[in-house]
């Protein structure tokens, strides 16, 4: 299994974002996770396409844009233009989920659906074979530094079963976001995840390389 680690810029130093992007890349990041919050779909407000475009020249790895916004579609186009490589959104925040996925892919980005801890997986019934990523939230979206919600583990296993059962054999990444740390990353991988968002555990540590290295060691064990 190829594992990917995606540091979340939400816990980075926003006064030095370009430098922080370069630092986590040098420390071994596979993706840069970019949390977009609108103070409407979630009770917090972060950054928009202008900031994505500003960090783009610093990013050698794909920028993984996690849209926590409603409505979704207009921002898809703006983030694709701003250099996103991946765009994920919460299906209940879009009136036409199939259309939004198509819009993301038509703009050359990988597309994914995001599930909150209490969001049922039925959204996958008619969509999984079109997706590039399923992102399962293991905290309620809005803030970094929250505790991993254990009920995410059986949900990860269920999505892993569904992906592995796809008749097309399509490659769909299974990403987990919220409360991922050195101590629990192996257990989350055993449940079936292959892509790990981690904000406070990486940016809150003194040595990004040591932290990402410890995550990789635990994944390999």
Tell me the catalytic residues. 35, 177
Residues forming beta bridges with residue 45, ordered by sequence position = 38
Q: CB count, 10 Å around CB of 194?
A: 20
In terms of CB distance, is 167 or 218 closer to ligand DX5?
Answer: 218
Task: Take residue 45 and report the two structure tokens written for it.
Answer: 């407000």
Q: What is the DSSP letter of 3?
A: -
Query: Which of 83, 91, 112, 141 is close enough to bind ligand DX5 by CB under 6 A?
Result: 141
Residue 73 CA from chain centroid, whole number: 18
Q: Which does 184 bind (CB under 5 to 8 A by kind): Zn ion, ligand DX5, none?
A: none
Q: Binding to ligand DX5 by residue 182, rule CB under 6 A? A: no
Q: Binding to ligand DX5 by residue 33, rule CB under 6 A? A: yes
Query: Which of 61, 107, 127, 146 is close enough to bind ligand DX5 by CB under 6 A?
Result: 146
- Please, is 107 exposed, middle or buried when counting C-beta atoms within 10 Å of its C-beta (0-12, 13-18, 19+)? middle
Residue showing the smallest CB distance to ligand DX5 in the complex? 199
Q: Distance of CA 93 to CAs 41, 59, 74, 160, Å? A: 7, 28, 13, 24
Contact 16, 23 (CB under 8 A): no
CB 61, min distance to Zn ion, A: 16
CB 132, min distance to ligand DX5, A: 18
Report helix, strand or coil for 103.
Answer: helix
Q: Which does 179 bind (CB under 5 to 8 A by kind): ligand DX5, Zn ion, none?
A: ligand DX5
Q: Which does 7 bind (CB under 5 to 8 A by kind): ligand DX5, Zn ion, none?
A: none
Nearby residues of 3 by Cβ (< 8 Å), 6 or more positions away? 189, 194, 195, 196, 216, 219
CB 116, min distance to Zn ion, A: 11
In terms of CB distance, is 159 or 164 closer to ligand DX5?
Answer: 159
Q: What residue ranges bind ligand DX5 (CB under 6 A)?
A: 8, 10-11, 33, 35, 66, 139, 141-142, 144-146, 177-180, 197-201
């Amino acid at each position: 299994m190829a594992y990917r680690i995606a540091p979340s810029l939400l816990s980075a130093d926003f006064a030095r974002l370009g430098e922080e992007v370069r630092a986590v890349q040098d420390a071994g990041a596979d993706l840069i996770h970019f949390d977009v919050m609108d103070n409407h779909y979630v009770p917090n407000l972060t950054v928009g396409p202008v900031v994505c475009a500003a960090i783009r020249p610093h990013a050698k790895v794909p920028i993984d844009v996690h849209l926590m916004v409603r409505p979704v579609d207009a921002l898809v186009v703006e983030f694709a233009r701003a250099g996103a490589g991946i765009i994920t959104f919460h299906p209940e925040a879009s009136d036409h989920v199939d259309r939004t996925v198509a819009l993301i892919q038509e703009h050359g980005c990988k597309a994914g659906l995001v599930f909150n801890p209490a969001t049922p997986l039925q959204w996958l019934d008619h969509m999984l074979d079109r997706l590039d990523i399923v992102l399962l939230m293991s905290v309620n979206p809005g803030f970094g530094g929250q505790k991993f919600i254990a009920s995410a583990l059986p949900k990860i296993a269920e999505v892993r079963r569904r992906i592995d059962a796809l008749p097309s054999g399509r490659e769909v990444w299974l990403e987990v976001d919220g409360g991922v740390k050195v101590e629990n990353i192996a257990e989350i991988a055993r449940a079936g995840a292959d892509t790990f968002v981690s904000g406070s555990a990486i940016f809150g540590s003194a040595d990004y390389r040591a932290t990402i290295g410890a995550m990789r060691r635990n994944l390999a064990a």
